[in-house]
Structure 1
Amino acid sequence: MHSCEKQFIECISAAIRGYKINTICDREVDWLEVFKKAEDHNVKPLVYSSLRNDIYKINDKLFNDVKRYTILASVLQIQHMKQVEKVFKEFNDNKISVIGLKGAALRNLYPRPEFRTMSDLDLLVRKGDIENSEKILLKLGYVRFGITKNHLSFKHKRFLNIDLHWTIDDKRGEGNVSDLENEIWNNTIKMSIGQASFLSLSWEDMLIHLLIHMAGHVVYSGFGIRQMCDVVLVIERKGHLINWESFYNKIRTIRIEKLMVVVFMACKSLFGMEVPEIVNNRIKDENENLNKFINYICLGGVYGRKDFASVYGGKLAFNIYNHNLKYIIITMKQIISQIVKAIFPHIKKIYEEFPYSKRCTVLLPVAWVHYISRHILRAKSIIFFIPMSINRYRLFKYLNL
């Protein structure tokens, strides 16, 4: 990692533990780049919360902008949580058991819960309650706009989208979670948001679900630092409530043991997390795969979609790994289409960026060259997706995903 990434990680590590950073990796660190990375991973408020006032003098305008962003993001999260409280209350009034997944339960592990931003709300209900649950959400002003193999998606004009799950199976590997799903409802714990109570997975099942969710995202698009922070805080703050022998046996049954080991090793390497003994005893020398995994996380952003290389490099690697010829062809067509668009944009796009070319069409070739030079970083990204695909293919193969 270069100095910018090291500074970014140090800020995050301090923030999730409620500290302010007391060291700067490099006095010449590019703070604009640090916050760009924070934006990619949707953790800008966390990075801001780790900074002391005397660091502001590095760049007053930048930090004031980030401060305003953090205040606005926090206010929006507080407003969203009031709506989440209303949603849980409606489920309770209708006597439908509902489990709040991921952010709904994890946010209170953070020193400042509003800084653990949520982009949507994930709910889990029993399959037999799906129809009545949908009626509740429609009554609250949500509109159904999508369906996948494991959830319905709802949107609202003012509030967070909601994904209504009937299963926690979110991976594409060889294992299944049917046995685990039969147990989770018996192991739930009670939590609350405002005056509304809701069920949460036990901390053991919560950690397993985070890894299942990561497995699904690794093979499709990737995941970012925020998910790693969730793992760190579950282990550091609730690890004493987890039966690690039971946890490890479930992970082996689901067949995501290698992913779990690499995630825990990455958390140790990045954030100094103490790895549970039962896992630590099974760790071998995996530095090469660990470095690939960390680079995959740092490059990809919160959903592995930071740039062209992240999106299509991951897609191509996954389809090749699964010998899926149909989707390999589709992905290659998408890649070629993106390359053509990058080199030969629509004339309207050139007119928008360079108005002089519209006023004087003779200068259109000049504007086109200007466009290419401005978007040279995108061209580099297009070239970069090939080695990225190779590295991700090897990583998928190692992880058995």
Structure 2
Amino acid sequence: MSSVFDVIKLIFWNSEKVTVDRDTYDVLAYHMIDALAASALSRIEMPDDLRMEWKTSIMRQVVYNAQVNYVQNHLPITVPYVVLKGSSAAQYYPYPEYRIIGDIDIITRREDFDQAYQELLQGGFVISKELDREVGFLKNDVLAELHRFFASLNDPKQAKYMDDLIIENIGSSHMLPDDINGLVLLEHINQHLERGLGLRQIIDWMMFVDKCLPDEKWLSFQNYAKAIGLDSLAIVATRMCELYLGLPHREWCSRADEKLCKQLMDYILACGNFGNVRSENIGTGENVFYFGSTPKSMLGLLTDRGMANWKAAQKHAILRPFAWIYQTVRYIKRGLSRADATAEIKKEHKAAKQRIKMFKALGVRQSTKGLAVYKNGKYIKE
């Protein structure tokens, strides 16, 4: 993976020219960070056909970004709100237009949620999903998620603290202050780490740290991070970015366990962007052992993976309640096809135990312990 790291260093820190092959490009694209190289392509050596493909991919992603930004800039919401992640993360990049935006995450003050909901419908958006945490609205193939709450932590008190902090800082600019915005990016890593995230989310954090967290500002930010139990994650993730991605050194993360940094980077590279389809083939048994400790977390895994893999359920809502069955069959087939199932099971059981140990060291959430949700005006653990 050193060539992938070399490309990232070239993009952000103007390191020396690098040579890229197909495998390196595939990893960058798989993690949805290939467009970040747009301004540095002339300093990357590669075959002509790959260069043309790369340029085409960048143009396609930039066009989609423009479409998302247009929808975001014309949201019909008249109550105060802020945009989480997405463009709020892109502001820290040297070229924000090349940071790919997946969807538009919005949160309002609690008393304004219903009005924002109705205004989106009146503005031509259609509901694509309705969950306890957020409602998804579609328009022009762009997804906007209106959040009832954002934090996804084990402790209800910490979740309330995080969401209250966001809501208290909603102003007229649709963007949070830097410290709170950085806390959102850190919590975003926490939310997706369990089932898989990629280098894109790590780079979001790295860019925030580069612009907003020099040594003299760490203590004030640490107070926020510690209040939601994520100060260890902040320290390890930052030191990991220094070791592998070229982030300039900061004294405040110098005592991070470098073995833990390596373990975290290896895990991120194996998972890919949000733990998508390819990651399923890396740790099927590991995921089953990890999430299988409670029926609810196991059902969540099967449903998520089933929705990612079953194209028919993605198109037809009536099939979605059965996604977990589809995924169960996939896992059974994969298990039966193994040449040495016993050895693989032992290996994956060990990997699951190592993952649990890593998460404990990082202080991140574990859904097997129950997650805090906001219901009927209060935070409870489910």
Q: TM-score, normalised by structure 1?
A: 0.74
Partner of 1:396: 359
Is contact 1:101–1:124 with CA below 8 Å preserved after alignment?
yes
Note the alpha carbon deviations across 1:41-95, whole angstroms, 9 max, x for none.
111111354332672xx311111111111112112211221121111xx32xx3x
Judged with a 3 Å threshold, the aligned counterparts in structure 2 of structure 1 residues 138 and 335 are, in CA distance, closer, same or farther, namely closer
Q: What does 1:107-146 align with in structure 2 at a 5 Å threshold?
A: 107-146=90-129
Shift of 1:273: 2.1
Q: Could you tell me which of 17, 36, 42 is aligned with 1:52?
A: 42
Partner of 1:80: 68
Q: Could you tell me which of 16, 20, 23 is aligned with 1:22?
A: 16
Q: What does 1:1-400 align with in structure 2 at a 5 Å threshold?
A: 5-17=1-13, 19=14, 22-24=16-18, 31-52=21-42, 55=45, 58-87=46-75, 90-91=76-77, 94=78, 96-156=79-139, 158-172=140-154, 176-187=158-169, 198-219=173-194, 221-239=195-213, 243-274=217-248, 276-277=250-251, 279-280=252-253, 283-284=255-256, 286-305=257-276, 306-309=278-281, 312=284, 315-319=287-291, 323-325=293-295, 327-328=297-298, 337-342=329-334, 386-400=349-363
Shift of 1:267: 1.4
- The structure with the largest alpha-carbon Rg is 1
Aligned mates of 1:242, 1:186 — CA distance in 2: 25
Equivalent residue letter for 2:32: N
Judged with a 3 Å threshold, the aligned counterparts in structure 2 of structure 1 residues 101 and 274 are, in CA distance, closer, same or farther, namely same
SS in 1 for 2:127: strand
Is contact 1:223–1:301 with CA below 8 Å preserved after alignment?
yes
Which region of structure 1 is more displaced relative to structure 2, 101-110 or 291-300? 101-110
Judged with a 3 Å threshold, the aligned counterparts in structure 2 of structure 1 residues 318 and 384 are, in CA distance, closer, same or farther, namely closer
Judged with a 3 Å threshold, the aligned counterparts in structure 2 of structure 1 residues 343 and 61 are, in CA distance, closer, same or farther, namely farther
Shift of 1:340: 4.4
Is contact 2:125–2:138 with CA below 8 Å preserved after alignment?
yes
Is contact 1:309–1:388 with CA below 8 Å preserved after alignment?
no
Judged with a 3 Å threshold, the aligned counterparts in structure 2 of structure 1 residues 262 and 175 are, in CA distance, closer, same or farther, namely farther
Partner of 1:368: none
Shift of 1:265: 1.6
Equivalent residue letter for 1:133: A
Relative contact order: is structure 1 or structure 2 higher (C-alpha 8 Å, sep ≥ 6)?
2
What is the total number of aligned residue pairs between the two structures? 338
Percent identity of the aligned residues?
19
SS in 2 for 1:171: coil
CA RMSD of aligned residues (A): 3.3
Is contact 1:312–1:331 with CA below 8 Å preserved after alignment?
no
Judged with a 3 Å threshold, the aligned counterparts in structure 2 of structure 1 residues 160 and 119 are, in CA distance, closer, same or farther, namely same
Judged with a 3 Å threshold, the aligned counterparts in structure 2 of structure 1 residues 79 and 207 are, in CA distance, closer, same or farther, namely same
Shift of 1:241: 11
Partner of 1:360: none
Shift of 1:119: 0.9
Is contact 1:16–1:46 with CA below 8 Å preserved after alignment?
no
Aligned mates of 2:260, 2:217 — CA distance in 1: 27
SS in 1 for 2:200: helix
Judged with a 3 Å threshold, the aligned counterparts in structure 2 of structure 1 residues 208 and 7 are, in CA distance, closer, same or farther, namely same
For structure 1, the residue ranges without an aligned partner over 5 or more in a row are 191-197, 345-371
For structure 2, the residue ranges without an aligned partner over 5 or more in a row are 303-324, 366-382
Is contact 2:80–2:170 with CA below 8 Å preserved after alignment?
no
Note the alpha carbon deviations across 1:360-397, whole angstroms, 9 max, x for none.
xxxxxxxxxxxx9xx99xxx999975554343222223
Aligned mates of 1:173, 1:314 — CA distance in 2: 25
Note the alpha carbon deviations across 1:240-268, whole angstroms, 9 max, x for none.
69843232122222112222222112111
Note the alpha carbon deviations across 1:170-198, whole angstroms, 9 max, x for none.
234686132343344444566xxxxxxx3
Judged with a 3 Å threshold, the aligned counterparts in structure 2 of structure 1 residues 166 and 327 are, in CA distance, closer, same or farther, namely closer
Note the alpha carbon deviations across 1:194-226, whole angstroms, 9 max, x for none.
xxxx3211111111111112111112x121111
Judged with a 3 Å threshold, the aligned counterparts in structure 2 of structure 1 residues 329 and 217 are, in CA distance, closer, same or farther, namely closer
Shift of 1:134: 1.2
